[in-house]
Amino acid sequence: MNPVIVIPTFVSARRRKEGGSVLTTYDHATPISAPGELPRLLHSLQKVRGLGQIVVLVVSEPSIENQAAEKVQTQVSQYPSLNVAVVGAPELGLIQQRMEQLGLGKLSKEIGLSGYGAIRNLGLVVANTLGFDSVVFLDDDEVVDDADFLQKAMYGLGKLTKKGIPILAKTGFYYNSEGTFFSKSQDRWYNHFWQQGKAFNKMMAKAMRGPRLSRSNHVCGGCLALHKEAFKRLSFDPWIARGEDLDYMLDLRMYGSDIWLDNQWSLRHLPPETESEGTRFRQDIFRWLYEFRKMEYSRTQIDLLQVKPSSLEPYPGPFLEPGITRRIRLTAFLRSLARPDKKAYRKAAKAATGEATTYAQRNCSKYFEFQFVWPELMARMENDQILRTALLKSAAQRQAGVDAPRQAAAAGAASAGIDPGVTSEIRLNIAE
C-alpha cells in the first residue's frame, strides 16, 4: 500500500486557559514562541522504515496563520531525511477554490482548519488529491519508538477476515508516561457517576487478551489507519466538539462497516498538562450530549444500521444511554466541590441543560446531510491534477524559502491555472 502520514499541529498566539468556541478549543495549542511537541515526534519518525510522505496540517488563529506555517516549516526543515509537506491556510484556500470550480462549494465548516472533525477531513481531502490509498493519523504530542510502526499500521488493512469482512479502518493504542495503556483516571468519590476510565480499562484489558485484530469499540485518533475505501465513503463529523475519532467508529457502524484494534500496533502519547480540566469536561459535555442525540436521530433514518449502547459495552455504551444529562450535572457538581478548577466545573454543569443540549438538538442531523455530499466530493477530487500541482508547488515554494505562505499559495495557484487573486480573497475571508 501507499500510505501518507497526516499530523495536525496546533499553534496559538499566546498561552491561554480557554480557546474560542467549543469547536475551536483544543486540548493543547503551542504558543507561537514555543517549540511545542512536534519536533519530538518528527525526530522519532526518522527511524521508521518505509516512511513516505508526511503531511503536517497547521491549525492556528487567523491572525497568526502565516507565522504559524512559517514556524512549522522551519521546524520541519530540521529533519531533511523526512519528506514533509506543510499545509496551512493558503493551501486550504487552494482546496476551497478548486472545490468551487468543481461546483462543490467551499464547505468551510466541514473541511478546514477549525474544529477536530473538519481538520481530519482536510487531511483526507489532501491524501485523496495526492493519490494515496491509505492515511495514518498521528498527533503531534506522540513518540514513535518502533521502526516497524508503518508496517504494523498497514497489517491487515484492505484485507478480508476469515469471515470475509473487509478491514478498512484500524486503530492501535497508546502507552502513557507511566508506560501503561490503561487510563490513569482515578476512581474517586466525585467520579461516582462518571466511571469513564474504569470502563475504558475494562475494554482495553479484553482487547489485549484477544487476537491481534479484534472488532473495536474504541479509537485512538493519534494511532489510526484508514483505507481509501473507508475515507472516500465516510468523513469525520465536523460538528462534534471532541472525540471525533470514537465518533468515526460509530459512523462506520451506522453505515455498515467497522473498525479493528491491532494489539501489536502502538506508540507513546505524552501530552502536556491540560490547563483547565473543567473546560475540557465542558467540551466532553457537548460531545456526549451531541453523540447521544446523533445516535437517537440516526434511528429515524431507514438507510442506517441501528447501533445500540448495549452493543458498545463496557465502553462507550454507558455514555450513550438515557440519563446522561443527569450524570453529567451530578459529576460536574461533585467535581466543583473537590477539584481545583471549581469555577469551570460550575460553568460546565450549567452547560449540560443549557447550551450543550441546544447545540445537540440543532446539529444532530447535519452530519448525515453532509454524507450525501462527501462521496461525490471525494470521487471528483481524487488525483485531481490541477489541485495536486497547486498543492505540491505551494509546499515546494515554502520549503525553498518563499517569503510568506500566502505567496507560496499564489505561486501554486498560478502554475495550476487557479486565479491567485481569488485564492487570496478566500484566505482573507477565513481571517474575517
User: Cα–Cα distance between 217 and 249 in angstroms, integer?
Assistant: 7
Residue 42 lies in a domain: yes
Residue 344 CA: distances (Å) to CA of 162, 232, 357, 384: 50, 39, 18, 46
- 335 inside domain: no
Number of domains in the chain: 1
Q: Give me the CATH number covering residue 47.
A: 3.90.550.10
The answer as to whether 99 is a domain residue is: yes
Domain assignment present for residue 160? The answer is yes
**Domain span at 394:** 3-275+372-403
**Structural domain includes residue 413:** no
**C-alpha to C-alpha distance for 107 and 311, rounded to whole angstroms:** 34
Asked if residues 233 and 111 have their Cβ atoms less than 8 Å apart, the reply is no
The pLDDT value given to residue 324: 87
In a domain, 419, yes or no: no
Per-residue pLDDT of the chain (432 residues; tens, 9 = 90+): 899 999 999 999 875 544 567 777 787 889 999 999 999 999 999 999 999 999 999 999 999 999 999 999 999 999 999 999 999 999 999 999 999 999 998 899 999 999 999 999 999 999 999 999 999 999 999 999 999 999 999 999 999 988 889 999 999 999 888 888 777 666 777 777 777 777 778 878 888 887 999 999 989 999 999 999 999 999 999 999 989 999 999 999 999 999 999 999 999 999 887 666 777 788 888 999 999 999 999 999 999 999 999 898 888 888 898 888 888 888 888 888 888 777 778 777 777 668 888 999 999 999 999 999 999 999 999 999 999 999 999 988 888 874 444 455 555 555 445 554 433 332 322 222
User: Is residue 138 a part of any domain in this protein?
Assistant: yes
Is residue 100 domain-resident?
yes
Q: Which residues contact 364 (CB under 8 A, 6 or more apart)?
A: 290, 293, 294, 296, 297
- Alpha-carbon torsion (348, 352, 353, 354), positive or negative: positive
* β-pairing verdict for 83-87 and 53-60: parallel
Q: What sign does the CA torsion over 282, 288, 291, 296 have?
A: negative
> Model-level pTM?
0.89
Backbone angles phi, psi at 140, to 5 degrees: -75, -10
- What are the distances in angstroms from CA 207 to CA 154, 195, 251, 263, 269? 19, 19, 21, 7, 19
Please give the single-letter amino acid code of residue 173. F
3-state secondary structure the chain: CCEEEEEEEEEECCCCCCCCCCCCCCCCCEECCCCCCHHHHHHHHCCCCCCCEEEEEEEECHHHHHHHHHHHHHHHCCCCCCEEEEECHHHHHHHHHHHHHCCCCCCCCCCCCCCHHHHHHHHHHHHHHCCCCEEEEECCCEECCCCCHHHHHHCCCCCECCCCCECCEEEEEEECCCCCCCCCCCCCHHHCCCCHHHHHHHHHHHHHHCCCEEECCCCCCCEEEEEHHHHCCCCCCCCCCCCHHHHHHHHHHHCCCCCEEEEEEEEEECCCCCCCHHHHHHHHHHHHHHHHHHHHHHCCCCCCCCCCHHHHCCCCHHHHCCCHHHHHHHHHHHHHHHCCCHHHHHHHHHHHHCHHHHHHHHHCCHHHHHCCCHHHHHHHHCCCHHHHHHHHHHHHHHHCCCCCHHHHHHHHHHHHCCCHHHHHHHHHHHHC
Those residues with Cβ within 8 angstroms of residue 211's Cβ, 6 or more apart along the chain or in another chain: none
Cell numbers at 143, concatenated: 513518540
